Chain A
Amino acid sequence: MGEGDADAQLMLRYAAGDARAFDALYATHRGALWRFIRRSVQDAAATDDVFQECWSRVITHRESYRPEARFATWLYRIAHNCCMDHWRRSGRRNKREAADDDAIEAAADESVTGPLDAVLEGESGERLAAALEQLPQEQRAAFLLYVEGGLSVTEIGQATGVNPETAKSRLRYAVARLKQALAEAAPE
């Protein structure tokens, strides 16, 4: 998997001393990673610090990188750890994801929220960002890793330290909640 990954090859080249390989890697992932961190930490001022910390770890640990997994999995795992460190430092309390299971299960029912395209039609990024802020931290992380990082369910499980079933469950609930939030906030 990792061997055929172009990003993994770039990372190996960078570890071998090729600075241009890092530029290429950075250009590929900077936008998505920035948004992932921005949405995860929900603090504009802290985003820059966490973003730099994440790339700093990539730079420092370049020689320990092994192309056994996709580069994106490794990168987003680092990013997720950086976000966790930030939450710990800031002492921010995590919303309990299982607090309102019934509401989530209701939201997961597509007949309630309608098809995805209908929900997202005419939506803006700001409203989605606001809806994301309302998600429990684990669900938000799973959603962002899936959408921004392009990680599979298994990779999300690896990055967040849970089994794939849990990762999949979080994803389902996240998207159901988002759809519900967007539907409720949609102009009449």
Chain B
Amino acid sequence: MPSRDSSRRLPRPRRNEDMNEKDSEAPFPREPWKRLLESSGEDPPETTDARIRAAARRDLVTARPALVAARLARRELRARGARRSIRNSARSEGRSWTSRTAARAPRSTARSSTGRKRRSRRAPGQSPKASVKIDLPRAAETDDDEFGAEDSRVRRGRRRHSVARRRTRARGEGRERDAGRGARTTTPASHRISPVTSGDIV
């Protein structure tokens, strides 16, 4: 039994005197106390051990399907998000194409309708260019059908000839018109000098 002589007492340390001690410094040794506590020989019962270990395993097993389900749901959400972003980008691209082509809407409409026609008329294996040729309206279809395709030089020559003919005709009509106008305005028909009559006067 330790002595309790009051004469041996040192001045009492104040409550928080050693509070600036480093935390790593142990306030007192653990081991003697720990040994003493362990000597009581108290441990959890085996049934408790078994119950806790079983619970730990059971929780892992029951958590696994839930975990898989959660992973699948997450994957599905991610896929949906990706699909939505693809759709949105396609939609925005389409919108920008529409705005670009809005200025020339009639042309584009006509083009698209003829394109549709061409596509429908195009024979399998035939190129779109070939179908354009087929669809072009031809001026002398009956003649061509009968005598074959007209040579472009011949066609050009014929066109030139018809133009020249038209010009000549127009020139002739102009002259007649001018002559008529001149007779009416300058000299009346009675005073008109005819080459035949001029010799008669002399």
Contacts and interface: CB of A to CB of B under 8 A. Distances in A.
A147 B2 contact: no
Interface stretch (B35-43, B108-116, B140-148): B35-43
Contacts of A153: 23, 27
Interface stretch (B7-15, B130-138, B190-198): B7-15
B23 A31 contact: no
Given A153-B23, A165-B19, A111 B34 contact: no
A183 B56 contact: no
A168 to B, nearest CB: 6
Interface residues of B, number: 44
Interface of A: 14, 17, 19, 22-23, 26, 30-31, 34-35, 38-39, 48, 51-52, 55-56, 59-60, 101, 105-106, 108-109, 111-114, 116-120, 123-126, 128-129, 143, 146-148, 150, 152-154, 164-165, 168-169, 171-172, 175, 183, 186, 188
A66 B114 CA distance: 69
Interface stretch (B47-55, B162-170, B173-181): B47-55
A38 B42 CA distance: 9
B52 A55 contact: yes
A171 B27 contact: yes
Nearest to B39: A125
B97 interface: no
Contacts of A55: 52, 55-56
B10 A109 contact: yes
Contact of A169 (B19, B45, B52): B19
A128 B43 contact: no
A69 B52 CA distance: 24
A117 to B, nearest CB: 7
A59 B59 contact: yes
Given A31-B43, A48-B48, A169-B19, A17 B56 contact: no
Main secondary structure of the interface of A (DSSP, over half): helix
5 contacts: A22-B53, A48-B44, A55-B52, A105-B15, A152-B24
A129 B38 CA distance: 11
B156 interface: no
A114 to B, nearest CB: 3
B75 to A, nearest CB: 19
A129 B27 contact: no
Contacts of B29: 116
B54 to A, nearest CB: 10
Given A31-B38, A125-B40, A128-B36, A175 B28 contact: yes
B30 interface: yes
B1 A116 contact: no
A125 to B, nearest CB: 3
Contacts of B34: 147-148
A124 B190 CA distance: 169
Contacts of A169: 15-16, 19
B57 interface: yes
Given A114-B3, A117-B32, 10 more contacts: A19-B56, A55-B56, A60-B59, A109-B13, A111-B9, A111-B10, A116-B29, A118-B2, A168-B27, A171-B28
B31 to A, nearest CB: 9
A183 B1 contact: yes
Nearest to B10: A111
A115 B59 CA distance: 49
A7 to B, nearest CB: 15
List of 10 A-B pairs having minimum Cβ-Cβ separation, nearest first = A125-B40, A114-B2, A125-B39, A22-B56, A34-B44, A147-B33, A55-B52, A165-B19, A120-B32, A19-B57
